[in-house]
Amino acid sequence: MEPVIRTLVDISQTPAALKGRANIVLERARWASEVFQRYDREMTLRIVDAIAAAAHANAQKYADWAVEETGFGVAEHKKIKNELTAHPLVDYYRNEDFVNPRIDEQRKLVEIPRPAGAIFVLTPSTNPIATLNYKILLGMMTRNAIVISPHPAARACCVDAANTLAAAALEAGAPDGAIQVIEDPSIPLIEEFMASPKTSLTLATGGNAMVRSAYSSSNPAIGVGPGNAPVFVDSSADLDLAAQRIVDSKSFDNSVLCTNESVLITLPECDKLLRLALKRSGAYLCDEDEVNRLRRYLFHERGFTVESIGRDAIWIAEECGMKVPKNTRILVTPIEQIGEEEKLSREKLCPVLAYHVAKTRNQALTQARAILRMTGAGHSAAIHTTDERLSMAYATTVEAYRVVVNAPCSQGAAGFQTHLAPTFTIGTGYFGRSSIGENVGPQHLVHWTRMAYNSDDSETFGNYHRLESHFDGPLPAAPADGVPGSNRPRPLTAPSRGGLDDSARQELRQLIAEELRAYLEH
Protein backbone atom coordinates (compact mmCIF):
# COMPACT_ATOMS: atom_id res chain seq x y z
CA MET A 1 0.00 0.00 0.00
CA GLU A 2 1.36 3.44 -0.87
CA PRO A 3 1.15 6.23 1.71
CA VAL A 4 -1.33 8.96 0.87
CA ILE A 5 -0.95 12.56 2.01
CA ARG A 6 -4.25 13.75 3.44
CA THR A 7 -5.63 17.06 4.59
CA LEU A 8 -7.79 16.35 7.59
CA VAL A 9 -8.21 19.94 8.65
CA ASP A 10 -8.27 22.26 5.66
CA ILE A 11 -7.19 25.79 6.47
CA SER A 12 -6.02 26.68 2.95
CA GLN A 13 -8.53 29.50 2.50
CA THR A 14 -8.04 31.12 5.91
CA PRO A 15 -6.31 34.49 6.16
CA ALA A 16 -3.47 32.82 8.08
CA ALA A 17 -2.81 30.38 5.26
CA LEU A 18 -3.08 32.95 2.48
CA LYS A 19 -0.77 35.28 4.30
CA GLY A 20 1.59 32.39 5.01
CA ARG A 21 1.73 31.56 1.31
CA ALA A 22 2.39 35.15 0.31
CA ASN A 23 5.04 35.61 2.99
CA ILE A 24 7.01 32.55 2.09
CA VAL A 25 7.08 33.36 -1.64
CA LEU A 26 7.82 37.03 -1.16
CA GLU A 27 10.53 36.42 1.38
CA ARG A 28 12.27 34.07 -1.03
CA ALA A 29 11.98 36.86 -3.60
CA ARG A 30 13.45 39.37 -1.18
CA TRP A 31 16.38 37.10 -0.47
CA ALA A 32 16.91 36.67 -4.20
CA SER A 33 16.80 40.41 -4.86
CA GLU A 34 19.17 41.08 -1.98
CA VAL A 35 21.71 38.64 -3.36
CA PHE A 36 21.07 39.89 -6.90
CA GLN A 37 22.44 43.27 -5.85
CA ARG A 38 25.83 41.64 -5.44
CA TYR A 39 25.88 40.87 -9.19
CA ASP A 40 27.77 43.03 -11.66
CA ARG A 41 26.48 44.21 -15.00
CA GLU A 42 28.15 41.50 -17.03
CA MET A 43 26.64 38.74 -14.97
CA THR A 44 23.27 40.46 -14.97
CA LEU A 45 23.31 40.71 -18.75
CA ARG A 46 24.35 37.10 -19.07
CA ILE A 47 21.25 36.11 -17.12
CA VAL A 48 19.06 38.47 -19.13
CA ASP A 49 20.39 37.08 -22.42
CA ALA A 50 19.85 33.51 -21.29
CA ILE A 51 16.24 34.28 -20.44
CA ALA A 52 15.74 36.07 -23.75
CA ALA A 53 17.16 33.05 -25.58
CA ALA A 54 14.76 30.73 -23.75
CA ALA A 55 11.85 33.07 -24.48
CA HIS A 56 12.80 33.21 -28.14
CA ALA A 57 13.24 29.46 -28.47
CA ASN A 58 9.81 28.86 -26.98
CA ALA A 59 7.97 31.68 -28.76
CA GLN A 60 6.02 29.37 -31.05
CA LYS A 61 5.22 26.80 -28.38
CA TYR A 62 3.73 29.30 -25.99
CA ALA A 63 1.99 31.25 -28.77
CA ASP A 64 0.12 28.08 -29.73
CA TRP A 65 -0.52 27.17 -26.10
CA ALA A 66 -1.83 30.63 -25.23
CA VAL A 67 -4.26 30.66 -28.14
CA GLU A 68 -5.42 27.18 -27.33
CA GLU A 69 -5.87 27.91 -23.65
CA THR A 70 -7.46 31.36 -23.88
CA GLY A 71 -9.09 31.30 -27.31
CA PHE A 72 -7.75 34.83 -27.81
CA GLY A 73 -5.67 36.06 -30.69
CA VAL A 74 -3.68 34.63 -33.54
CA ALA A 75 -0.85 32.20 -32.79
CA GLU A 76 1.29 33.51 -35.63
CA HIS A 77 1.01 37.07 -34.26
CA LYS A 78 1.55 35.95 -30.72
CA LYS A 79 4.75 34.29 -31.84
CA ILE A 80 5.91 37.63 -33.22
CA LYS A 81 5.09 39.34 -29.93
CA ASN A 82 6.78 36.61 -27.94
CA GLU A 83 9.89 37.06 -30.05
CA LEU A 84 9.79 40.85 -29.86
CA THR A 85 9.74 40.60 -26.10
CA ALA A 86 12.88 38.47 -26.12
CA HIS A 87 16.08 39.61 -27.86
CA PRO A 88 14.81 42.90 -29.38
CA LEU A 89 13.55 44.04 -25.98
CA VAL A 90 16.90 43.30 -24.39
CA ASP A 91 18.79 44.94 -27.24
CA TYR A 92 16.68 48.05 -26.91
CA TYR A 93 18.01 48.52 -23.37
CA ARG A 94 21.40 46.90 -23.83
CA ASN A 95 23.35 50.11 -23.66
CA GLU A 96 21.58 51.37 -20.60
CA ASP A 97 23.25 50.63 -17.33
CA PHE A 98 21.05 49.91 -14.35
CA VAL A 99 23.84 48.29 -12.35
CA ASN A 100 26.87 50.55 -12.06
CA PRO A 101 26.96 53.91 -10.35
CA ARG A 102 26.74 56.91 -12.65
CA ILE A 103 29.40 59.49 -12.05
CA ASP A 104 28.59 63.06 -13.02
CA GLU A 105 31.76 65.15 -12.71
CA GLN A 106 30.05 68.29 -13.90
CA ARG A 107 27.36 68.31 -11.25
CA LYS A 108 29.47 66.53 -8.65
CA LEU A 109 26.95 63.73 -8.31
CA VAL A 110 27.26 59.98 -7.94
CA GLU A 111 24.09 58.04 -8.56
CA ILE A 112 23.85 54.50 -7.27
CA PRO A 113 21.08 52.22 -8.57
CA ARG A 114 18.85 50.67 -5.89
CA PRO A 115 16.51 48.00 -7.29
CA ALA A 116 12.93 47.89 -6.02
CA GLY A 117 13.27 44.42 -4.47
CA ALA A 118 10.39 41.98 -4.73
CA ILE A 119 8.08 42.91 -7.57
CA PHE A 120 4.66 41.35 -7.80
CA VAL A 121 3.42 41.28 -11.38
CA LEU A 122 0.04 40.51 -12.84
CA THR A 123 -0.11 39.25 -16.41
CA PRO A 124 -3.24 39.41 -18.56
CA SER A 125 -5.00 36.72 -20.55
CA THR A 126 -4.89 38.72 -23.76
CA ASN A 127 -1.11 38.96 -24.12
CA PRO A 128 -0.06 36.38 -21.57
CA ILE A 129 3.38 35.26 -22.71
CA ALA A 130 4.60 38.51 -24.24
CA THR A 131 3.72 40.35 -21.04
CA LEU A 132 5.36 37.66 -18.96
CA ASN A 133 8.57 37.76 -21.03
CA TYR A 134 8.60 41.51 -20.89
CA LYS A 135 8.05 41.85 -17.16
CA ILE A 136 10.54 39.14 -16.28
CA LEU A 137 13.23 40.67 -18.47
CA LEU A 138 12.63 44.17 -17.12
CA GLY A 139 12.93 42.77 -13.63
CA MET A 140 16.13 40.89 -14.35
CA MET A 141 17.76 43.84 -16.15
CA THR A 142 17.37 45.79 -12.94
CA ARG A 143 18.30 42.93 -10.58
CA ASN A 144 14.88 42.63 -9.02
CA ALA A 145 13.04 39.48 -8.07
CA ILE A 146 9.75 38.83 -9.81
CA VAL A 147 6.68 37.01 -8.57
CA ILE A 148 4.18 36.39 -11.36
CA SER A 149 0.49 36.00 -10.89
CA PRO A 150 -0.94 34.86 -14.21
CA HIS A 151 -4.49 35.54 -15.28
CA PRO A 152 -6.51 32.42 -14.45
CA ALA A 153 -7.61 32.09 -18.08
CA ALA A 154 -3.98 31.79 -19.19
CA ARG A 155 -2.70 30.03 -16.09
CA ALA A 156 -1.25 26.85 -17.50
CA CYS A 157 0.79 28.37 -20.33
CA CYS A 158 2.05 31.15 -18.06
CA VAL A 159 3.09 28.80 -15.27
CA ASP A 160 4.96 26.63 -17.72
CA ALA A 161 6.59 29.60 -19.45
CA ALA A 162 7.57 31.21 -16.14
CA ASN A 163 9.13 27.97 -14.96
CA THR A 164 11.01 27.64 -18.24
CA LEU A 165 12.41 31.15 -17.94
CA ALA A 166 13.15 30.66 -14.25
CA ALA A 167 15.13 27.51 -15.06
CA ALA A 168 17.08 29.39 -17.75
CA ALA A 169 17.80 32.17 -15.27
CA LEU A 170 18.98 29.77 -12.58
CA GLU A 171 21.13 27.94 -15.09
CA ALA A 172 22.75 31.25 -16.03
CA GLY A 173 23.51 31.94 -12.38
CA ALA A 174 20.54 34.02 -11.22
CA PRO A 175 19.75 33.85 -7.51
CA ASP A 176 17.32 31.09 -6.59
CA GLY A 177 13.80 32.46 -6.57
CA ALA A 178 14.54 35.50 -8.73
CA ILE A 179 11.59 34.38 -10.84
CA GLN A 180 8.63 32.72 -9.17
CA VAL A 181 5.11 32.05 -10.33
CA ILE A 182 1.93 31.49 -8.38
CA GLU A 183 0.49 28.29 -9.68
CA ASP A 184 -3.01 28.71 -8.26
CA PRO A 185 -3.84 32.40 -8.22
CA SER A 186 -7.11 33.44 -6.62
CA ILE A 187 -8.44 36.88 -5.82
CA PRO A 188 -7.91 36.62 -2.05
CA LEU A 189 -4.38 35.32 -2.57
CA ILE A 190 -3.54 38.09 -5.05
CA GLU A 191 -4.86 40.67 -2.63
CA GLU A 192 -2.66 39.21 0.06
CA PHE A 193 0.38 39.56 -2.19
CA MET A 194 -0.47 43.10 -3.24
CA ALA A 195 -0.97 44.27 0.32
CA SER A 196 2.00 42.49 1.83
CA PRO A 197 4.67 44.74 3.32
CA LYS A 198 7.13 42.36 1.69
CA THR A 199 6.00 43.47 -1.78
CA SER A 200 8.13 46.37 -2.99
CA LEU A 201 6.06 47.14 -6.06
CA THR A 202 3.06 45.75 -7.88
CA LEU A 203 3.20 45.91 -11.65
CA ALA A 204 -0.37 45.43 -12.75
CA THR A 205 -1.56 44.81 -16.27
CA GLY A 206 -5.06 43.54 -16.46
CA GLY A 207 -8.62 44.45 -15.71
CA ASN A 208 -9.50 47.76 -14.20
CA ALA A 209 -10.62 46.18 -10.93
CA MET A 210 -7.20 44.59 -10.46
CA VAL A 211 -5.41 47.81 -11.27
CA ARG A 212 -7.51 49.81 -8.83
CA SER A 213 -6.99 47.12 -6.23
CA ALA A 214 -3.23 47.35 -6.74
CA TYR A 215 -3.40 51.08 -6.17
CA SER A 216 -5.52 50.62 -3.07
CA SER A 217 -3.17 48.06 -1.59
CA SER A 218 -1.08 50.64 0.31
CA ASN A 219 2.02 49.52 -1.59
CA PRO A 220 3.72 51.28 -4.49
CA ALA A 221 2.09 50.21 -7.74
CA ILE A 222 2.38 50.78 -11.43
CA GLY A 223 -0.98 49.95 -12.88
CA VAL A 224 -2.39 51.03 -16.14
CA GLY A 225 -5.89 51.74 -17.32
CA PRO A 226 -7.78 50.43 -20.33
CA GLY A 227 -7.36 51.77 -23.83
CA ASN A 228 -9.87 53.00 -26.41
CA ALA A 229 -7.74 54.58 -29.07
CA PRO A 230 -9.26 57.04 -31.53
CA VAL A 231 -7.61 57.17 -34.92
CA PHE A 232 -8.09 60.27 -37.02
CA VAL A 233 -7.61 59.92 -40.76
CA ASP A 234 -7.22 63.38 -42.24
CA SER A 235 -7.76 64.23 -45.86
CA SER A 236 -4.08 65.10 -46.12
CA ALA A 237 -3.16 61.46 -45.46
CA ASP A 238 -2.26 58.84 -48.03
CA LEU A 239 -5.58 57.06 -47.67
CA ASP A 240 -4.42 53.75 -49.07
CA LEU A 241 -1.50 53.57 -46.70
CA ALA A 242 -3.63 54.72 -43.78
CA ALA A 243 -6.28 52.09 -44.50
CA GLN A 244 -3.69 49.39 -44.85
CA ARG A 245 -1.99 50.31 -41.58
CA ILE A 246 -5.25 50.46 -39.70
CA VAL A 247 -6.40 47.09 -40.99
CA ASP A 248 -2.99 45.59 -40.22
CA SER A 249 -3.20 46.97 -36.73
CA LYS A 250 -6.78 45.93 -36.01
CA SER A 251 -6.21 42.42 -37.33
CA PHE A 252 -2.89 42.01 -35.54
CA ASP A 253 -3.49 39.30 -32.97
CA ASN A 254 -7.19 40.11 -33.48
CA SER A 255 -6.93 43.39 -31.57
CA VAL A 256 -5.97 42.01 -28.19
CA LEU A 257 -3.34 44.68 -27.73
CA CYS A 258 -5.00 47.44 -25.75
CA THR A 259 -3.31 49.92 -28.08
CA ASN A 260 -5.53 48.88 -31.00
CA GLU A 261 -7.64 51.47 -32.81
CA SER A 262 -11.17 51.54 -31.50
CA VAL A 263 -12.89 54.33 -33.39
CA LEU A 264 -11.83 55.73 -36.74
CA ILE A 265 -12.74 59.38 -37.29
CA THR A 266 -12.52 60.92 -40.70
CA LEU A 267 -13.88 63.85 -42.69
CA PRO A 268 -16.63 64.02 -45.33
CA GLU A 269 -14.20 64.92 -48.09
CA CYS A 270 -12.32 61.64 -47.83
CA ASP A 271 -15.07 59.38 -46.49
CA LYS A 272 -15.81 57.59 -49.73
CA LEU A 273 -12.23 57.05 -50.77
CA LEU A 274 -11.27 55.85 -47.33
CA ARG A 275 -14.08 53.29 -47.32
CA LEU A 276 -12.86 51.97 -50.64
CA ALA A 277 -9.30 51.86 -49.40
CA LEU A 278 -10.36 50.01 -46.26
CA LYS A 279 -12.25 47.46 -48.34
CA ARG A 280 -9.20 46.93 -50.51
CA SER A 281 -7.18 46.22 -47.40
CA GLY A 282 -9.53 43.51 -46.22
CA ALA A 283 -12.10 45.43 -44.19
CA TYR A 284 -15.78 44.61 -44.40
CA LEU A 285 -18.06 47.66 -44.24
CA CYS A 286 -21.21 46.74 -42.33
CA ASP A 287 -24.67 47.98 -43.25
CA GLU A 288 -27.06 49.39 -40.67
CA ASP A 289 -28.60 46.03 -39.82
CA GLU A 290 -25.19 44.44 -39.40
CA VAL A 291 -24.06 47.30 -37.17
CA ASN A 292 -27.09 46.65 -34.97
CA ARG A 293 -26.33 42.95 -34.80
CA LEU A 294 -22.70 43.61 -33.88
CA ARG A 295 -23.66 46.17 -31.25
CA ARG A 296 -26.12 43.76 -29.65
CA TYR A 297 -23.63 40.93 -29.74
CA LEU A 298 -20.58 42.79 -28.46
CA PHE A 299 -22.24 44.73 -25.68
CA HIS A 300 -24.67 43.49 -23.11
CA GLU A 301 -25.97 45.12 -19.95
CA ARG A 302 -22.92 44.31 -17.89
CA GLY A 303 -20.38 45.24 -20.51
CA PHE A 304 -18.35 43.69 -23.28
CA THR A 305 -18.84 40.12 -24.49
CA VAL A 306 -15.73 38.34 -23.29
CA GLU A 307 -16.09 35.48 -25.79
CA SER A 308 -15.43 37.89 -28.64
CA ILE A 309 -12.04 39.03 -27.30
CA GLY A 310 -9.26 38.21 -29.71
CA ARG A 311 -11.56 36.30 -32.11
CA ASP A 312 -11.15 36.83 -35.81
CA ALA A 313 -13.54 38.89 -37.92
CA ILE A 314 -15.14 35.90 -39.65
CA TRP A 315 -15.83 34.11 -36.38
CA ILE A 316 -17.50 37.21 -34.96
CA ALA A 317 -19.51 37.79 -38.12
CA GLU A 318 -20.77 34.22 -37.98
CA GLU A 319 -21.76 34.63 -34.33
CA CYS A 320 -23.88 37.57 -35.44
CA GLY A 321 -25.37 35.67 -38.35
CA MET A 322 -23.59 37.81 -40.90
CA LYS A 323 -22.18 36.64 -44.17
CA VAL A 324 -18.83 38.20 -44.97
CA PRO A 325 -16.20 37.42 -47.61
CA LYS A 326 -13.60 34.85 -46.59
CA ASN A 327 -10.74 37.29 -46.83
CA THR A 328 -12.31 39.69 -44.31
CA ARG A 329 -9.73 40.86 -41.78
CA ILE A 330 -11.73 43.41 -39.82
CA LEU A 331 -15.33 44.53 -39.47
CA VAL A 332 -16.04 48.24 -39.81
CA THR A 333 -19.18 49.63 -38.19
CA PRO A 334 -20.17 53.15 -39.24
CA ILE A 335 -21.66 55.08 -36.30
CA GLU A 336 -23.43 58.42 -36.14
CA GLN A 337 -22.80 59.31 -32.55
CA ILE A 338 -19.97 59.09 -30.09
CA GLY A 339 -20.45 58.83 -26.35
CA GLU A 340 -22.67 57.01 -23.89
CA GLU A 341 -25.40 56.59 -26.47
CA GLU A 342 -23.20 54.60 -28.80
CA LYS A 343 -21.76 51.47 -27.25
CA LEU A 344 -19.62 50.83 -30.29
CA SER A 345 -17.56 53.88 -29.41
CA ARG A 346 -16.20 52.00 -26.39
CA GLU A 347 -13.09 49.76 -26.19
CA LYS A 348 -13.32 46.62 -28.32
CA LEU A 349 -10.57 44.01 -27.95
CA CYS A 350 -11.58 42.37 -31.23
CA PRO A 351 -11.22 43.31 -34.91
CA VAL A 352 -14.31 45.51 -34.98
CA LEU A 353 -13.58 49.15 -35.79
CA ALA A 354 -16.17 51.89 -35.32
CA TYR A 355 -16.19 54.46 -38.11
CA HIS A 356 -17.36 58.01 -37.65
CA VAL A 357 -17.41 60.92 -40.06
CA ALA A 358 -17.00 64.29 -38.38
CA LYS A 359 -18.07 67.46 -40.12
CA THR A 360 -14.86 69.43 -39.60
CA ARG A 361 -11.35 69.01 -38.30
CA ASN A 362 -12.37 70.82 -35.12
CA GLN A 363 -15.26 68.49 -34.60
CA ALA A 364 -12.99 65.51 -35.24
CA LEU A 365 -10.67 66.67 -32.48
CA THR A 366 -13.58 67.17 -30.09
CA GLN A 367 -14.92 63.71 -30.89
CA ALA A 368 -11.51 62.11 -30.37
CA ARG A 369 -11.33 63.79 -26.99
CA ALA A 370 -14.80 62.54 -26.14
CA ILE A 371 -13.87 58.95 -26.94
CA LEU A 372 -11.06 59.03 -24.40
CA ARG A 373 -13.22 60.81 -21.88
CA MET A 374 -15.52 57.82 -21.88
CA THR A 375 -12.77 55.26 -21.47
CA GLY A 376 -9.11 54.94 -22.29
CA ALA A 377 -7.89 58.19 -20.79
CA GLY A 378 -4.13 58.54 -20.87
CA HIS A 379 -3.72 55.59 -23.20
CA SER A 380 -3.21 55.82 -26.94
CA ALA A 381 -4.39 57.69 -30.02
CA ALA A 382 -3.35 57.71 -33.65
CA ILE A 383 -3.48 60.10 -36.54
CA HIS A 384 -2.82 59.78 -40.25
CA THR A 385 -1.88 63.10 -41.78
CA THR A 386 0.90 64.99 -43.48
CA ASP A 387 -0.01 68.25 -41.79
CA GLU A 388 2.13 68.70 -38.71
CA ARG A 389 -0.01 71.58 -37.49
CA LEU A 390 -2.93 69.18 -37.37
CA SER A 391 -1.01 66.40 -35.68
CA MET A 392 0.22 68.89 -33.12
CA ALA A 393 -3.31 70.15 -32.47
CA TYR A 394 -4.53 66.56 -32.22
CA ALA A 395 -1.80 65.52 -29.79
CA THR A 396 -2.38 68.51 -27.53
CA THR A 397 -6.13 67.98 -27.60
CA VAL A 398 -6.54 64.28 -26.89
CA GLU A 399 -5.82 63.10 -23.37
CA ALA A 400 -3.46 60.35 -24.41
CA TYR A 401 0.22 60.04 -23.60
CA ARG A 402 1.17 58.49 -26.92
CA VAL A 403 -0.08 59.68 -30.26
CA VAL A 404 1.06 57.49 -33.11
CA VAL A 405 1.49 59.21 -36.46
CA ASN A 406 1.13 57.34 -39.76
CA ALA A 407 1.65 53.93 -38.19
CA PRO A 408 -0.48 51.04 -36.96
CA CYS A 409 -1.49 51.94 -33.44
CA SER A 410 -1.54 48.42 -31.94
CA GLN A 411 2.14 47.97 -32.64
CA GLY A 412 3.17 51.62 -32.75
CA ALA A 413 1.98 52.72 -29.33
CA ALA A 414 3.56 49.62 -27.81
CA GLY A 415 6.88 50.61 -29.35
CA PHE A 416 7.09 48.02 -32.08
CA GLN A 417 6.77 50.15 -35.23
CA THR A 418 7.80 53.44 -33.73
CA HIS A 419 10.76 54.49 -31.66
CA LEU A 420 8.75 54.41 -28.46
CA ALA A 421 10.02 52.02 -25.82
CA PRO A 422 8.79 48.50 -26.52
CA THR A 423 6.35 47.66 -23.78
CA PHE A 424 3.47 45.59 -22.59
CA THR A 425 2.59 48.05 -19.89
CA ILE A 426 1.25 51.29 -21.27
CA GLY A 427 1.49 53.99 -18.63
CA THR A 428 -1.82 55.85 -18.64
CA GLY A 429 -0.49 58.55 -16.33
CA TYR A 430 -2.53 61.08 -14.46
CA PHE A 431 -5.22 61.17 -17.15
CA GLY A 432 -5.71 57.46 -16.62
CA ARG A 433 -5.23 57.34 -12.85
CA SER A 434 -1.81 55.81 -13.11
CA SER A 435 1.54 56.74 -11.62
CA ILE A 436 3.41 56.55 -14.93
CA GLY A 437 2.59 58.20 -18.23
CA GLU A 438 5.11 56.59 -20.54
CA ASN A 439 5.74 53.10 -21.78
CA VAL A 440 6.91 51.25 -18.70
CA GLY A 441 10.54 50.19 -18.90
CA PRO A 442 13.31 48.98 -16.63
CA GLN A 443 14.01 52.52 -15.48
CA HIS A 444 10.77 52.38 -13.49
CA LEU A 445 11.95 49.42 -11.45
CA VAL A 446 14.98 51.05 -9.91
CA HIS A 447 15.52 54.16 -7.84
CA TRP A 448 18.82 55.92 -7.39
CA THR A 449 20.74 56.99 -4.33
CA ARG A 450 22.23 60.35 -5.23
CA MET A 451 25.43 61.35 -3.56
CA ALA A 452 25.67 65.11 -3.92
CA TYR A 453 28.75 67.22 -3.19
CA ASN A 454 28.87 70.75 -1.99
CA SER A 455 28.39 72.85 -5.13
CA ASP A 456 30.96 75.40 -3.97
CA ASP A 457 34.03 75.33 -6.20
CA SER A 458 36.32 75.12 -3.18
CA GLU A 459 35.04 71.62 -2.51
CA THR A 460 36.50 69.19 -5.00
CA PHE A 461 34.69 66.14 -6.25
CA GLY A 462 36.14 62.72 -5.42
CA ASN A 463 37.66 60.39 -7.96
CA TYR A 464 35.06 57.67 -8.14
CA HIS A 465 36.39 56.14 -11.32
CA ARG A 466 39.26 54.37 -9.66
CA LEU A 467 37.22 52.65 -6.95
CA GLU A 468 37.21 48.88 -6.94
CA SER A 469 34.07 47.05 -7.93
CA HIS A 470 31.78 46.40 -4.99
CA PHE A 471 30.08 43.46 -6.66
CA ASP A 472 30.80 40.26 -4.76
CA GLY A 473 28.64 38.00 -6.93
CA PRO A 474 26.58 35.09 -5.62
CA LEU A 475 26.84 34.19 -1.95
CA PRO A 476 29.34 31.40 -1.37
CA ALA A 477 27.56 28.22 -0.31
CA ALA A 478 27.87 27.55 3.38
CA PRO A 479 29.66 24.32 4.21
CA ALA A 480 27.81 21.21 5.27
CA ASP A 481 30.53 19.85 7.50
CA GLY A 482 31.25 16.17 7.16
CA VAL A 483 29.05 15.71 4.12
CA PRO A 484 31.06 14.05 1.38
CA GLY A 485 31.98 16.55 -1.30
CA SER A 486 31.20 19.58 0.82
CA ASN A 487 34.51 21.37 0.91
CA ARG A 488 34.93 23.60 3.81
CA PRO A 489 35.82 27.05 2.62
CA ARG A 490 37.88 28.98 5.08
CA PRO A 491 38.22 32.71 4.91
CA LEU A 492 41.63 33.13 3.35
CA THR A 493 42.04 36.78 4.16
CA ALA A 494 40.47 39.26 6.47
CA PRO A 495 37.53 40.98 4.85
CA SER A 496 38.68 43.90 2.77
CA ARG A 497 38.12 47.18 4.51
CA GLY A 498 38.68 49.33 1.48
CA GLY A 499 41.73 50.88 3.11
CA LEU A 500 43.26 51.14 6.52
CA ASP A 501 41.52 50.42 9.74
CA ASP A 502 41.38 52.94 12.54
CA SER A 503 44.39 51.81 14.53
CA ALA A 504 46.59 51.62 11.45
CA ARG A 505 45.37 54.99 10.34
CA GLN A 506 46.15 56.41 13.77
CA GLU A 507 49.65 54.99 13.57
CA LEU A 508 50.22 56.41 10.14
CA ARG A 509 49.00 59.79 11.23
CA GLN A 510 51.38 59.76 14.13
CA LEU A 511 54.31 58.83 11.88
CA ILE A 512 53.54 61.64 9.51
CA ALA A 513 53.18 64.08 12.38
CA GLU A 514 56.55 63.04 13.73
CA GLU A 515 58.20 63.36 10.36
CA LEU A 516 56.69 66.77 9.91
CA ARG A 517 57.85 67.85 13.31
CA ALA A 518 61.36 66.62 12.60
CA TYR A 519 61.33 68.39 9.27
CA LEU A 520 60.16 71.68 10.79
CA GLU A 521 62.72 71.57 13.57
CA HIS A 522 65.54 71.47 11.06
Partner 1 sequence: MVSAEKRDVIERSKYFWNPAKTQDWQDMGVDLVIDRREGYCIYDMDGHRLYDLHLNGGTYNLGHRHPELVEVLKAGTERFDMGNHHFPAIARTALAEALAACAPSPDMKYTAYGAGGAEAIDIALKSARNAMQKKKIISIIKAYHGHTGLAVKTGAERFSKTFLSEDTEGEFLQVPFNDLDAMEDALRGRDVAAVIMETIPATYGFPMPNEGYLPNVKKLCERYDALYIADEVQTGLMRCGTLWGINNYQVEPDILVTGKGITGGIYPMSCCVMTERAGAWLKQDGFAHMSTSGGAELGCVVSMKTLEIVQRPEVKATVHYIADYLRAGLDKIMAEYSDFFIDIRQHGVIMGLVFNHEQGAKPVMKHLYANGVWAIFSTLDPRVLQFKPGLLLTQAECEEILRRVEIGISLARDEVMGSRSRRIA
- Contact residues toward partner 1 (CB under 8 A) are 3-9, 11, 14, 16-17, 19-20, 23-25, 27-28, 30-32, 34-35, 176-177, 180, 198, 475-484, 491, 493-495, 497, 500-501, 503-504
Residue 160: CB atoms within 10 A of its CB come to 17
21 CA to centre of own chain: 25
279: amino acid identity, one letter:
K
Cβ nearer to partner 1, comparing 458 with 469: 469
Residue 289: CB atoms within 10 A of its CB come to 9
Cβ nearer to partner 1, comparing 419 with 490: 490
Please provide the distance, in angstroms rounded to a whole number, between the alpha carbons at the two ends of the chain.
98
Sheet-wide strand order for 201-204: 179-181, 145-150, 118-123, 201-204, 221-223
Contacts of 158 (CB under 8 A, 6+ apart): 123, 128, 129, 132, 148, 150, 151, 181
Q: Which residues are identified as catalytic? A: 258
| Shortest Å, Cβ 157 to partner 1 | 21
| Shortest Å, Cβ 386 to partner 1 | 57
Cβ nearer to partner 1, comparing 190 with 404: 190
Burial (0-12, 13-18, 19+ Cβ within 10 Å), 375: middle
| Shortest Å, Cβ 16 to partner 1 | 4
| DSSP designation for 445 | G
Cβ nearer to partner 1, comparing 88 with 474: 474
| Shortest Å, Cβ 24 to partner 1 | 4
In order, the DSSP letters of 25-47 are: HHHHHHHHHHHHTT--HHHHHHH
| Shortest Å, Cβ 495 to partner 1 | 5
- C-alpha 261/C-alpha 265 separation (Å) is 10
Cβ nearer to partner 1, comparing 10 with 288: 10
Residue 200 phi/psi, 5-degree rounding, is: -85, -35
Cβ nearer to partner 1, comparing 22 with 55: 22
| Shortest Å, Cβ 3 to partner 1 | 4
Cβ nearer to partner 1, comparing 492 with 520: 492
Number of residues in the chain: 522
Strand 303-304, strand 446-452: pairing: unpaired
Q: Are 368 and 232 in contact (CB under 8 A)?
A: yes
| DSSP designation for 436 | -
Q: How far is CA 181 from CA 31, 370, 379, 475, in A?
A: 16, 40, 28, 23
191: amino acid identity, one letter:
E
Q: Give the torsion through C-alpha atoms of 27, 29, 32, 34, to 10 deg.
A: -70
| Shortest Å, Cβ 147 to partner 1 | 11
